[in-house]
Amino acid sequence: MTPISFEFYPPKTEDQRAQLDKTARRLATRAPQYVSCTFGAGGSTLTHTPDTVRHLREAHALDAAPHLSCVGGTRAEIGALLETYRTLGCRRLVTLRGDLPSGMARAGELRYASELVEFIRDQTGDAFHIEVAAYPETHPQARDAHADLRHFVDKVRAGADGAITQYFFNADAYFRFVDDVRVLGVDVPIVPGIMPIANFSQLRRFSDLCGAEIPRWIGQRMAAFGDDAASVRDFATDVVAALCDRLVRGGAPGLHFYTLNLARPTLNVLDRLAL
């Protein structure tokens, strides 16, 4: 049975909290290995992730893992968060450099995710299973694809136990990435990140920002369906389920779903896959 995990973001309003509760209840029925909760750099957002992780653990009995980024943060702030997560019983972290929100100038004391992984290992030893991010289609700020592969290897050498990829729609990019880093000596599991398609124009905007390529044929088919929401949904489910199927058959060690706090698009894919 392929392990699955679900990613949520921390809700900030009452409506968003109710939405997350509904989504968590529905997705909990699929017995995820764990769920994760994203982290936004800086200021008041510092408390949103720990609060959500606590809620998911206590109200939904889910093994909730926080994302933790170093951009814009100090060692002291990161150390305090690590202590909070230990107290909450968390045993897994998704560890990132992060991106500064526009307009926020504070750089932070650690520059790259590899430095954050090193810091966490230094402060907490083996208390946490550490996941890092991987980019089968290359991180958008990388000098070049080979430098990005080497920097990925640095994160694993710094002490990561596994990786979750940025989402992609081209399975070959994932298989190639895994082959390349195996040659460089990386043997940790690399779990593909899966983006069920809920809102195509939003997906286009996200993809431009994070460097994920939407194949032209998917865009063309989506455009041709126009306002026919049922056909769009059906096609999107088919495309993502076929991708998951190919990844699992090709040896992917799990599937990590970017839910955007919605249950239905992820459930549609899981139902079609019969996982």
Interaction between residue 97 and ligand FAD (CB under 6 A):
yes
First to last CA, the chain: 7
Among 20, 113, 130, 236, binds ligand FAD (CB under 6 A): 113
User: By CB under 6 A, is residue 221 in contact with ligand FAD?
Assistant: no
Stretch that binds ligand FAD, among 50-58, 117-125, 141-149, 199-207 (CB under 6 A): 141-149
Q: Which of 96, 186, 222, 243 binds ligand FAD (CB under 6 A)?
A: 96
Q: What is the 3-state secondary structure (H, E, C) of the chain?
A: CCCEEEEECCCCCHHHHHHHHHHHHHHHCCCCCEEEECCCCCHHHHHHHHHHHHHHHHHHCCCEEEEEECCCCCHHHHHHHHHHHHHCCCCEEEEECCCCCCCCCCCCCCCCHHHHHHHHHHHHCCCCEEEEEECCCCCCCCCCHHHHHHHHHHHHHCCCCEEEEEECCCHHHHHHHHHHHHHCCCCCCEEEEECCCCCHHHHHHHHHHHCCCCCHHHHHHHHHHCCCHHHHHHHHHHHHHHHHHHHHHCCCCCEEEECCCCCHHHHHHHHHHCC
Within residues 167-186, the interface with ligand FAD by CB under 6 A covers none
98 burial (CB, 10 Å; 0-12 / 13-18 / 19+) is buried
Tell me if 206 contacts ligand FAD by CB under 6 A: no
Number of residues in contact with ligand FAD, rule: CB under 6 A? 25
Stretch that binds ligand FAD, among 145-153, 176-184, 222-230, 242-250 (CB under 6 A): 145-153
From 25-33, 90-98, 196-204, 237-245, span contacting ligand FAD (CB under 6 A): 90-98
In the complex, least distance from residue 187 CB atom to ligand FAD, rounded to whole angstroms: 19
Stretch that binds ligand FAD, among 106-114, 173-181, 223-231, 239-247 (CB under 6 A): 106-114
Q: Is 166 in the site for ligand FAD (CB under 6 A)?
A: yes
102 in contact with ligand FAD (CB under 6 A): no
Q: Is 114 in the site for ligand FAD (CB under 6 A)?
A: yes
**Which C-beta is closer to ligand FAD: that of 148 or that of 269?**
148
155 binds ligand FAD (CB under 6 A): yes
Please tell me the distance from the alpha carbon of residue 51 to that of residue 37, in angstroms, as a whole number: 10
Q: Is 14 a catalytic residue?
A: no
Active site (catalytic) residues: 7
| Residues forming the site for ligand FAD (CB under 6 A) | 38-41, 67, 69, 94, 96-99, 112-114, 133, 139, 141-142, 147-148, 151, 155, 164, 166, 193
